[in-house]
Amino acid sequence: MAQVGIVGGTGYTGVELLRLLARHPNVDIKVITSRGNAGSRVDEMFPSLRGRLDIAFSEPDLEALADCDLVFFATPNGTAMQMVPELLEAGTRVVDLGADFRLKDLATWSEWYGMEHACPSQVEEAVYGLPELHREAIRGARLVANPGCYPTAVALGWLPLLEQGLIAPESLIADCKSGVSGAGRKAQVHTLLCEANENFKAYGASGHRHLPEIRQTLETVLGREATLVFVPHLVPMTRGMQATLYGRLVEQGVDLQRLYEQRYANEPFVDVLPPGSHPETRTVRGTNLCRVAVHQPQGGETVLVLSVIDNLSKGAASQAVQNMNLMLGLEEAAGLDDIAVLP
């Protein structure tokens, strides 16, 4: 059994990680840390885990974490980079669910996250953890930067078109919607029930932290600069995310449905829906699936891609488990066979 640790297990992505790892056939959760809840049993905070986990939160301790085969960081930005170098030195692999290692350009990272990076050499080493794009590199990685939720939905929606050079890189639009859990578990006025319920709004239209991450992925695939308009929206539901993606086709007559089906034919967690489909967030709730549909309205030059994921799962915790499986030489889909709960 692989011994794993979790740093910061009290947020929504942390408890989602616990839910998945508690039933993973090849994993034993050895350590889970929380400075504010050290000594408290995990199942007291999260009763859904009663009978599944017999463990208490503990103070972060590098020695205990270094005894693990792999450590997840489900922590605020700026936390993982303080501990990762020592864990890597001890031979412990790391998956960071935060943003500390996602952006390769350190000046850009500092601009968006408001601090200097503590370990630039590890940023260079880190592998961006989108398995559908970097699977083989992830297998050999010591450090994986787990992608953000919006970047995952957007990248998987556009990959087939970008890889074949079928859309103009100067006219990309990502219109995205997320459930309230994407804002995290901390108390904030805009996520209170009376504020978020029966309300719909855009935010970050002039700039959002996921913008440079999305652009970096697009430009990695394209090999050149891309111009992107990215607008996120908050919708009154707990979890789920849809990316509605617009691009201008530079070549007509391509069978887009076949392109998508062929690109994702061997991907266990990307489901290309039949022609004319409209994916729904409820069909991926609690799963590692991304469901995608491609449209060419009225046969014109605009291509429209609809991509849905669960922001806490494929957008965070379950993708982190998928990366762990690859890094530890386990079956890639191990522990990730959930079926969405309906209704």
Which residues are identified as catalytic?
149
Helices and strands (DSSP H and E) totals, the chain: 12, 13
Structure tokens at 135: 């699977």
**Closest CA relative to residue 27, chosen from 257, 235, 325:** 325
Cβ–Cβ under 8 Å, residues 88 and 101: no
d(CA 127, CA 149): 17
Name the DSSP class of 194: H
CA 52 to chain centre: 25
Indicate the helix (H) or strand (E) that contains 149: helix 149-163
Residue type at 228? L
Task: Name the CA radius of gyration of the chain, rounded.
Answer: 20
d(CA 330, CA 124): 25
Indicate the helix (H) or strand (E) that contains 303: strand 302-309
> In degrees, to the nearest 5, what angle opens at C-alpha 301 toward C-alphas 295 and 304?
25
Backbone angles phi, psi at 247, to 5 degrees: -150, 160
